[in-house]
Amino acid sequence: MLGREGIAGLVCLVLSLGLLALTRDLPQSSMVPVGPGFYPRIVLVLMAALSVMLLVSDVLAGRRGRPAPPPARARLNYGLVAATFGVFVVYVFLLPALGFRIATFLFVAVLQAVLEPPRGWRRWVLVLVVAVLTSWVTHLVFEHYLSVLLPRGRWTGM
Domain boundaries defined on the chain = 4-67, 75-145
C-alpha radius of gyration, the chain, whole number:
20
- What residues are paired with 99 via a beta bridge? 152
Rounded to whole angstroms, the Cα distance separating 61 from 59 reads 5
The pTM score is 0.61
pLDDT of residue 106: 96
93-142 per-position pLDDT tens digit: 999 999 999 999 999 999 999 999 999 999 999 999 999 999 999 999 88
Instruction: Provide the strand spans (E) within the chain.
Output: none
Please count the other Cβ atoms lying within 10 Å of the Cβ belonging to residue 18.
10
Rounded to whole angstroms, the Cα distance separating 77 from 75 reads 6
The alpha carbon of 64 is separated from its chain's Cα centroid by a whole number of angstroms, namely: 31
73-105 per-position pLDDT tens digit: 556 678 898 999 999 999 999 999 999 999 999
25-62 per-position pLDDT tens digit: 887 777 766 777 788 889 999 999 999 999 999 888 87
